[in-house]
Amino acid sequence: MDTDEDTRIPLAWTRSSTDSSPFILARVHRPQEPNAHPFHCTAVFPWSEDSIADLWDGAVTDEEIISQWQRTVRKHKGAVAVGSTGKSFLFPKLCGGRPYMLKLPEPSWEVHCVAWALSSTAPIKPLLVVAASSILVIFDVETRQIVGQLRGHGGPITSIAVHPVHPYLLCTTARDFTTRIYDLTLRPAQMPNNPHWLPSTRRSLASPAFGLQSTESEGQGIGRCVAVLVGGRSGGHRGAVFAAAFHRTEPLIATAGMDRAVKIWRIPPYDGISMAREDKPFFSTNLIHKARVLSIAWLSHDILISHSAPALMYRGDMKGFYEESGTVAVWQWLALNRFFPPGRPAGAPTPKVMRGCVTDYTQSELFKVIAEYHLPPGNPKAATSISLRQAHDPLLLVPAGRAVRVFSIARFAVRDRPPFPPDENAVVAALATRLRDANLGGDDDDDGDREDGEYAARGSENLYGEDDEQDAEEDEDEDEDEEMPPPA
């Protein structure tokens, strides 16, 4: 590892390496059976020997538990969990040993999400959480047995996120417009405890698709749904939810979905009796991305990164439509200190009910885009790697054919400041363009789905010099300032 000559502080490899290929392909594993099912998803063992100092806010101080934790990490470090159809596999580090199989209750279930978790009641026994359609199955990695099976969502689960400090908390997003938060230290609810809708005094019998508990048992083993972030009501998602991310220190969770929106919610407190429901986030906007948002992650206290799929754009000159590449955006939420003021005492209680104004949970503009880049054309996939202990810069991984390109997010160029005051001629030209496009598009141009303020947002983008309505060829050839930075 290189060092800075002035400070003699070791530099991360992402800042000191000049090698364009810092990794090597160690091994390729292929199923041996000729008709084997394909692999759908992967998850790498996320902890190191030092992680015990951060987990559970550093509450684990027993030397025996720390010693057992270090042995557990040495055993599983570098292991990769892989989801398939009817089963999941666990590959040791660099495929150095034989993988072992974890069978699902039904051989037809397809595993499209997998994640590692820990229970505070057994902190040295890793758990593997897999999602098969709308069912969660929890495995004990040491015994290779199912220790929990939960139902709750009214549609297929799209992602699983685990709390970075309290890994017994996990959340699942799904195509039923909702996000559910689970506590692995609790047992499943055997009877529903849904609210009643006035004037009726009977509890609702609606299904999980409406953000409620099922009328049957939640499951068996470990795990209970303690909160639901409801979709389709007030400020909830109006489409499938694709990704979620817990804040490291505050009771916050960010979500992203099909409706182009990114939202930041408060994790509602659990009273130990009834499942909490929330339908009004602290922040919601669809002005950052132009298409469905596929991932989201916290980079720091109030800075996030998200990426979107390609967007179908209208040229505005009667030539039809074209596809604009997806974008990755680094942005800052400007209202966090309003809800969680800095300098407040550690462990200070928060109010039972916390609400913003109506613009916060419908269409907020309290954000600032710090950096934005276009992804390679036709490839909507991307992933982020963030070190809890800041061992390296946050990384963005983008597949490109058979290769994976790695970018250091810390080296992203900051966007230029918009001109102020704006040029009067540019304002007039932007207004004329918007009026012309509205007349050409007709009444059914957007099927009535355009939201209030969207024209204004697009007009400001044009005003500030962004090529929102250029041809696809111009986006690819002339946007040199939006090219991705060199790989780390």
Asked if residue 21 has pLDDT above 90, the reply is no
Confidence of residue 207 (pLDDT cuts 50, 70, 90): low
Is CATH 2.130.10.10 correct for 13-419? yes
Report pLDDT for 168.
95
Report pLDDT for 122.
86
Q: Are 414 and 371 in contact (CB under 8 A)?
A: yes
Asked if residue 467 has pLDDT above 80, the reply is no
- CA nearest neighbour of 296 among 386, 180, 182: 386
Amino acid present at 125: K
Checking 57-63 for CB contacts under 8 A at 24+ apart, the result is 57/165, 60/123
> What is the 3-state secondary structure of 232-249?
CCCCCCCCCEEEEEECCC
Report pLDDT for 458.
38
- Taking only the tens place, the pLDDT of each residue in 152-195 is 888 999 999 999 999 999 999 999 999 999 999 999 887 667 77
State the chain's mean pLDDT as an integer: 82
Min mean pLDDT across 5-19, 28-42, 109-123, 299-313 is at 5-19
- Taking only the tens place, the pLDDT of each residue in 419-445 is 777 788 888 888 888 888 777 555 444
Report pLDDT for 218.
83
In Å, what is the CA distance from 344 to each residue of 302, 339, 349? Answer: 16, 11, 10
Overall average pLDDT of the 52-70 stretch: 89
Confidence of residue 60 (pLDDT cuts 50, 70, 90): confident
* Strand arrangement, sheet containing 145-151: 111-119, 122-132, 135-140, 145-151, 219-221
